[in-house]
Amino acid sequence: MQRVHLQGIAKSFGATKVLEQIDLTIEPGEFLVLLGPSGCGKSTLLNIVAGLEQPTGGRIHFGDRDVTDLEPDQRDIAMVFQSYALYPTMSVRRNMGFALKMQGLSTAEIAAKVADVAKLLQIEHLLDRKPAQLSGGQQQRVAIGRALVREPQVFLLDEPLSNLDAKLRADMRVELKRLHERGRRTTLYVTHDQVEAMTFASRIVVMDKGRVQQCDRPEVVYAKPANRFVAGFVGAPTMNFLEGELALLSDGPALRLKENLLPLPGLWASRGLQVGQKVVLGLRPEHIGLAAADDVGTCPGHVVMTEPTGPDLYVRIRLAGQEVTSRMSPGQAPSPGQKVALELDGKAASLFDVADGQRLN
């Protein structure tokens, strides 16, 4: 297994900077997910790692090997494309064996390897078909198979599941995860779908505007987003943001929103945060809940609308003049128009700088 090390990678097309100064290390056997909105540069970065595009600055190392100037086929990688990019005129068998044929392997060797992978992916019965005769899910499997056959040091996937329907996507997520756990190949996976990112990643790299915004384990990215962009991009429904001043009540910290004071029990305000400082408070929907009747330190809300999704219920609530979303279980559901007492989970709250959006706590 290889360590992939990106050092100061930059890419620009003319005056347009697509990537700026990307430093990243993918540990051997790691499943690293590049997550970001479209146009954030994640696919360009993947193409650069693959060798399909040349960076305008920086170096790429696979282990000790500097691969920056190597052609894709000399890098010992394999790649799965969003469009699958199966060769339409070749059978599944030839599709899977093509790279090996280009490497000059004997027919017998190729046949054996293709058979192994086909068995692993349960596509043996499809080997003699043409891609056009396969369903989307089958094409996806073949595309993955074509990559696996090469036994690459580094496995690159570019939004491989986004052309599948919801159910197949869920199945393939599980399957991909299982495959990775079996092979433990160093994997770089590009997606704009945060569920995929959460499912697979040993670490998630959130990108925006050609820069790495945060690189950490999924649960950290979710719980402690490094800035407002990450906070807003990861998590659905999105995090609630309230802009106000920090305040201190007798029983703990709070946020002053105009004339309202919202208690935030448990908020761990450290390092240079001062009472009266302007901040943006970030609270995930599950961290806004109904208060028990006898609780102290609650804040009054006004239910605007409810949005049932099955297991959960999202409730739009007017709180201190702003609308926030709260996640509740269907049993708790208040009805629109109702006045409710809310409890904000200060322990889980994030605080961001008003000006640059960086995390403060």
Partner 1 sequence: MRRLPLYLMLSIAALMVLFPLLVMLSTSLKPLDEINHGSLFALPQDPTLAAWTKAWGGACISGTCRGLSVWFANSFAIVLPALFCSLALGALTGYALSLRTARWVDMLFAALLIGLFIPPQVTLYPMIVLVREMGLFGTLGGLVFAHTVWGLAFVTLLFRNFFLSVPRDLLKAARIDGAGFLATFWHVMLPLSLPVCAVALVLQFTYIWNDFILGLTFAGPGQQPVTVALNVLAGSQFGQQEYNVNMAATMIAALPTILVYLLSGRLFVRGIAAGAVKG
Binding site for partner 1 (CB under 8 A): 47, 50-52, 71-73, 77-79, 81-90, 98-99, 102-103, 146
Alpha-carbon separation of residue 38 from 35, 192, 193, 289 (angstroms): 9, 7, 11, 33
Give the nearer residue to partner 1 in terms of CB position, either 7 or 82: 82
The residue among 182, 180, 185, 183 whose CA lies nearest residue 199 is 180
**CB 131 to partner 1: min, Å:** 11
Query: What's the min distance (Å) between Cβ of 92 and partner 1?
Result: 14
C-alpha–C-alpha distance, residues 99 and 136, integer Å? 22
Measured between alpha carbons, how far is 144 from 131 in angstroms, rounded to an integer? 13
Contact at 8 Å (CB) between 172 and 140? yes
Nearer to partner 1, 99 or 354 (CB): 99
**Rounded CA gap, 114 and 127, in Å?**
9
- Tell me which amino acid residue 350 is: S
In the complex, the smallest distance separating the C-beta of residue 42 from partner 1, rounded to whole angstroms, is 16
SS3 at position 152: coil
Instruction: For the CB of residue 106, give the shortest distance to partner 1 in the complex, in Å.
Output: 16
Closer CB to partner 1, 87 or 268, in the complex: 87
Cβ-proximal residues to 7 (8 Å cutoff; 6+ apart), any chain: 23, 58, 59, 60, 61
Shortest Cβ 51–partner 1 spacing (Å): 8
Sheet holding 260-263, edge to edge: 260-263, 252-257, 240-249, 278-283, 350-353
Q: Looking at beta carbons only, is 191 or 214 nearer to partner 1?
A: 191
Task: Choose between 76 and 245: whose C-beta lies nearer to partner 1.
Answer: 76
For partner 1, the closer of residues 88 and 272 by Cβ is: 88
- Asked if residues 50 and 72 have their Cβ atoms less than 8 Å apart, the reply is yes
Nearest to 114 by CA among 90, 88, 133: 90
Whole-number minimum distance, CB 74 to partner 1, in Å?
A: 8
Q: Which is nearer to partner 1, 79 or 340 (CB)?
A: 79
Provide, rounded to whole angstroms, the least separation between the CB of residue 160 and partner 1.
12
Alpha helices in the chain (DSSP H): 42-50, 92-103, 107-121, 136-148, 166-183, 194-200, 218-223, 228-233
Cα dihedral across residues 14, 15, 21, 22: positive or negative: negative
Q: Which is nearer to partner 1, 186 or 227 (CB)?
A: 186
Question: CA nearest 33: which of 226, 221, 232?
Answer: 221
Tell me how far, at minimum, the Cβ of 109 lies from partner 1, in Å: 15
- Closest contact distance (angstroms) between CB of 84 and partner 1 is 8
Choose among 131, 64, 144: nearest CA to 91. Answer: 131
Q: Is 95 or 298 the residue whose CB approaches partner 1 more closely?
A: 95
CA 54 vs CA 26, 71, 150: distances in Å: 19, 10, 23
Give the residue carrying structure tokens 């919202």.
262
Nearer to partner 1, 43 or 194 (CB): 43
CB of 37 to partner 1, least distance (A): 21
